[in-house]
Structure 1
Amino acid sequence: MPLHSDVLIVGAGSAGSVLAERLSADDRCRVTVVEAGPGPSDPRVAGQIADALRLPIGTASSVVRRYPTTLTDNPERHAQIMRGCVVGGSGAVNGGYFCRGLPSDFDSWGLTEWTWEQVLPHFRAIETDLDFSGPLHGSAGPIRVRRVSEFDGCTAQFVEAATAAGYRWLADLNGFTPSEPLPAGVGRVPLNIDGGTRLGPGGAFLQPALARPNLTLLTETRVRRVRIVDGRATAVQCIGPDGEQLLTADRIVLSAGAIGSAQLLMLSGVGPHRLLRAFDIEVVADLPVGMSTIDHPEWTLPVRWAETFNQPPLEVVLATPDGLELRPYTRGFGAMISGRRDDPADHPHIGVALMRPRSRGRVWLRSADPDVPPAIAHRYDSEPGDVEALREGVELARELAGAAAEGATASWSTSHHLCHTAPMGAGADAVVDPRCRVHGVDGLWVVDGSVLPAIPSRGPHATIVMTAHRAAEFIAG
């Protein structure tokens, strides 16, 4: 007999971990979480994901999955993007940045379930802010948020340069409201890092809940497709340590990330009909999965500033009036991954990211085989205005760095913030409704960065965690 659950969650990443804890709090609800990566008891895991001063995404990492992508079309610039493949997902391997989306982001979505007034209680519920209190901040949530209090090295040099250039100091980047919006300025990044330890949703939400008898976690188990019968999702086909398995459920939630959830939807017959028919996949729902993806394009500029060791990769950011975020990364990229200090070419760098881009990309199937990763094209250079804004941002970075940037060449990069592959809404460009239910398929939800109707004006991690906390109410109801 297949294992049957009331709710089956595909993916134990940031969203799936929150959903699992929230839904299993009702002891009458049997919850199963299926995760492709290793679990917290695996000896390979703790040493890689706990140290918040490193990014465990190098070639030796056993907790990420890599996807090839094309950043730009003219000329083609190829890159790899990484996604966490471990309990905790990308939230277990990232730099700890936990800035919320801005109030204006949510109010611009035009969805009554997702206004700033609706989402603020969920932002507060997920966190304990160790630096600020009051009506905008949580004091009893599982994720501990704090900011670096003293700066040295390149961070101190960046702050000094930004304030000397006239940018105001922003004490609390999570402290703004619709009536008091975020102005241009530089401020400390809220981090889900405490005492050098990264504590994302996997550790904060899911792991403490695993003692509940109604919560089951299956690790190193890959879901290959969702079984949809007569317009209703009834089961998932997966393969794990004991071979192939069919898991049935009353409600199925895809929380496999913007890439993984999109791929699973298409493999299961939910997606653009012409693409699915090209691979002889029966079309269940003709929906624009992966047809309008969004990410924060980023250019990086190396600078000859002193590295900052024993600190998180990013301590402050500068927000400009025209929607750019300048990020003084504390070390070179190689040093962030390896922890080494002995590479003289591995300089700190300033990231220049466009936070409200117009460019749109695409994720699509290359095969009906679930083991073949989908194709990804960011198309960052498809909007000339975006390219010009990034160019101007790099010039600002050069001015702030002064002689430390002389002779340095900026290069295309990505913020690894891909979203909008299965956006919420009611129009023709939506894949799920405002309660995260897949249009035209009963019993199937998507809850992760896929569903964001627009990319937030900040890195999306905190917004994704909030989204899961909010969506749990819809799925439980």
Structure 2
Amino acid sequence: MRSDVLIVGAGSAGSVLAERLSADPRCRVTVVEAGPAPSDPRVAQQINDGLRLPIGTASSVVRHYLTTLTDAPPRRMQITRGAVVGGSGAVNGGYFCRGLPADFDGWQVPGWTWRDVLPHFRAIETDLDFGGPLHGADGPINVRRVSDFDGCTASFVAAARGAGHRWVEDLSGFDADVPAAGVGAVPLNIDSGTRVGPGGAFLLPALERDNVDLLPDTRVMRVRIAQGRAVAAECVGPAGRFTVTADRIVLSAGAIGTAQLLMVSGVGPVKMLRELGIRVWADLPVGASTSDHPEWVIPVGWTPTHDLPPLEAVLTTEAGVEIRPYTAGFAAMVHGPGHDPAESPHIGVALMRPRSRGRVTVASADPLVPPVIDHRYDSEPADVADLAAGAELAYDIASGTVATGEPSWSTSQHLAGTAPMGRDDDPRAVLDAQCRVRGVDGLWVVDGSVMPALTSRGPHATIAMIGHRAAEFIAG
């Protein structure tokens, strides 16, 4: 099988990228997705309900990984990645808030300043609440906010404002140096209870085109590289093994999947790859600068608020902490109300500009062996101190209104930066400023892996923007 562009992974970035590139009828685009097809009757039932997180053990649209959150003591946790058209954006809570202008300017990567990326944020959305030069009016993804809070969200917002925190009308409305701290409603890609992310908004309509092929239930085992150029992908699907050749190959398999696929294909730290018997094509620091938003969760005695999105409002601080009043307990978000009557809602305390960096490595040349993930959240004492200060703030806001429990370590599951882009003189950079893998022709990465540093908001909207922005590089 041959294609002009092969995209590995139909997640948030891959879905947007496929639609953009296939708009040129001369370009044949093939998308390989390890998860089930949209026509699978189980898929719509699981991913469309924006009030649930279909990430439990019985889910057919996710893949589970084991990670170590902290080293002293070791804290192990299972994390979840979407394995379906739309990727993790098809199974998350619908949080669709942009990164801040300072995040992109801070990357210091040519072509990725705030002014460079703003048109792409506007292009992917239709904001149903706000207009003007900062918002899109005709993009495929509808974005709206809850206007009337109920239950625990209303209690949290009232307590935060009573404690002196300012109300922020639009958490995606920042430009230049506008202060970002305050409490506000979360922009959501949930409309009338239905979650519609990049998979449904971009890729599904594009599949009507004659020049787009989707290969579901198909896993790419490795990228074949010959004479320094990526030429094909070795795949396993329902009919067995086969190969897809392409002029341009793009990895959009997510921060974990992309990193593993690069390394088993011979792109990564030379010492580790040689020890595993993998031929090395490019000695690059894949997986060495992994980042995520560490989170402490605090049980609170609020009455759960059912039939609402998991997160409707957040409080952000100047110190880069985001405090999240989840509307129900996690079991209720996954399984529905009544699953565990004893479980209470939680407040999440997340550090949005962490200093800590984790690692993703491979333990085997076999792509079916899961990678090793280490978040290393406690490797930076200042991060732990900031989380503790954020927890104290959360307790202060909730004090006198509700009983609270002790915090426990968790993660926002925003893994990113496993193959960061950067300038030519950046030793951490796996990619150049146009998302091309250094030292390998014809190979790009377009997903959350490319971020040199995490954004100060959840990354979903940013990852969709990355797919839209990178299309210009790959089409050219």
What is the TM-score with the length of structure 2 in the denominator?
Answer: 0.99
User: CA 1:405 to 1:367, structure 2 compared with 1: closer, same or farther past 3 Å?
Assistant: farther
Q: 2:290·2:415 contact (CA, 8 Å) conserved in 1?
A: yes
Please give the alpha-carbon distance, in whole angstroms, between the structure 1 residues aligned to 2:354 and 2:50. Answer: 29
Please give the alpha-carbon distance, in whole angstroms, between the structure 1 residues aligned to 2:407 and 2:371. Answer: 29
1:473 maps to which residue? Answer: 472
Cα deviation per residue 1:56-98 (whole Å; 9 max; x = unaligned)? Answer: 0011101000000000000000001100001110000000000
Please give the alpha-carbon distance, in whole angstroms, between the structure 1 residues aligned to 2:55 and 2:263. Answer: 27
Q: Superposition pairs for residues 242-391 of structure 1, below 5 Å?
A: 242-341=239-338, 343-391=340-388
1:196 maps to which residue? Answer: 193
Shift of 1:395: 1.1
Q: 2:421·2:431 contact (CA, 8 Å) conserved in 1?
A: yes
Shift of 1:344: 2.8
Determine if the alignment matches structure 1 residue 83 to structure 2 residue 81. yes
User: CA 1:405 to 1:300, structure 2 compared with 1: closer, same or farther past 3 Å?
Assistant: farther
Shift of 1:402: 1.3
Please give the alpha-carbon distance, in whole angstroms, between the structure 2 residues aligned to 1:159 and 1:298. Answer: 20
Task: Decide which of 205, 209, 222 is 1:212's aligned counterpart.
Answer: 209
User: CA 1:407 to 1:168, structure 2 compared with 1: closer, same or farther past 3 Å?
Assistant: closer
Please give the alpha-carbon distance, in whole angstroms, between the structure 2 residues aligned to 1:24 and 1:272. Answer: 34
Please give the alpha-carbon distance, in whole angstroms, between the structure 1 residues aligned to 2:438 and 2:269. Answer: 13
Task: Decide which of 399, 423, 426 is 2:420's aligned counterpart.
Answer: 423
Shift of 1:112: 2.2
Please give the alpha-carbon distance, in whole angstroms, between the structure 1 residues aligned to 2:28 and 2:455. Answer: 33
Q: 2:298·2:404 contact (CA, 8 Å) conserved in 1?
A: no
> SS in structure 1 opposite 2:444?
strand
1:63 maps to which residue? Answer: 61
> SS in structure 2 opposite 1:170?
coil
Task: Decide which of 5, 8, 28 is 1:7's aligned counterpart.
Answer: 5
1:162 maps to which residue? Answer: 160
Q: 2:301·2:404 contact (CA, 8 Å) conserved in 1?
A: no
Please give the alpha-carbon distance, in whole angstroms, between the structure 1 residues aligned to 2:221 and 2:179. Answer: 44
Q: 1:89·1:202 contact (CA, 8 Å) conserved in 2?
A: yes
> SS in structure 1 opposite 2:296?
strand
Determine if the alignment matches structure 1 residue 229 to structure 2 residue 226. yes
Task: Decide which of 119, 123, 126 is 1:125's aligned counterpart.
Answer: 123
Q: 1:302·1:405 contact (CA, 8 Å) conserved in 2?
A: no
Please give the alpha-carbon distance, in whole angstroms, between the structure 2 residues aligned to 1:111 and 1:368. Answer: 32
Q: 1:301·1:405 contact (CA, 8 Å) conserved in 2?
A: no
User: CA 1:105 to 1:258, structure 2 compared with 1: closer, same or farther past 3 Å?
Assistant: same
Please give the alpha-carbon distance, in whole angstroms, between the structure 1 residues aligned to 2:401 and 2:370. Answer: 40
Please give the alpha-carbon distance, in whole angstroms, between the structure 1 residues aligned to 2:217 and 2:188. Answer: 29
Please give the alpha-carbon distance, in whole angstroms, between the structure 1 residues aligned to 2:70 and 2:342. Answer: 26
Residue identity matched to 1:337: V
Structure 1 stretches lacking a partner, 5+ long: none
Please give the alpha-carbon distance, in whole angstroms, between the structure 2 residues aligned to 1:63 and 1:112. Answer: 36
Q: Which moved more, 1:423-432 or 1:197-206?
A: 423-432
Task: Decide which of 103, 107, 130 is 1:109's aligned counterpart.
Answer: 107
Structure 1 outlier segments of 4+, above 2 Å: 340-344, 403-407
Please give the alpha-carbon distance, in whole angstroms, between the structure 2 residues aligned to 1:118 and 1:309. Answer: 40
Please give the alpha-carbon distance, in whole angstroms, between the structure 2 residues aligned to 1:333 and 1:323. Answer: 24
Shift of 1:307: 1.1
Q: 1:103·1:181 contact (CA, 8 Å) conserved in 2?
A: no
Determine if the alignment matches structure 1 residue 153 to structure 2 residue 141. no
Shift of 1:342: 5.6
Shift of 1:250: 0.1
> SS in structure 1 opposite 2:290?
coil
Please give the alpha-carbon distance, in whole angstroms, between the structure 2 residues aligned to 1:414 and 1:408. Answer: 18
What is the TM-score with the length of structure 1 in the denominator?
Answer: 0.98
Shift of 1:306: 1.5
Shift of 1:106: 0.6
2:44 maps to which residue? Answer: 46
Shift of 1:44: 1.0
Q: 1:303·1:404 contact (CA, 8 Å) conserved in 2?
A: no
> SS in structure 1 opposite 2:159?
helix
> SS in structure 2 opposite 1:391?
helix
Q: 1:8·1:251 contact (CA, 8 Å) conserved in 2?
A: yes
* Coordinate RMSD, CA, aligned: 0.9
Residue identity matched to 2:308: Q
Please give the alpha-carbon distance, in whole angstroms, between the structure 1 residues aligned to 2:302 and 2:220. Answer: 46
Cα deviation per residue 1:42-63 (whole Å; 9 max; x = unaligned)? Answer: 0110000000000000111010
Shift of 1:403: 4.2
Residue identity matched to 1:158: F
Q: 1:304·1:404 contact (CA, 8 Å) conserved in 2?
A: no
Residue identity matched to 1:454: A
Please give the alpha-carbon distance, in whole angstroms, between the structure 2 residues aligned to 1:217 and 1:155. Answer: 40
Please give the alpha-carbon distance, in whole angstroms, between the structure 1 residues aligned to 2:103 and 2:210. Answer: 39
Cα deviation per residue 1:98-154 (whole Å; 9 max; x = unaligned)? Answer: 010000001111122001111000000000000000000000000000001111110
Shift of 1:343: 2.8
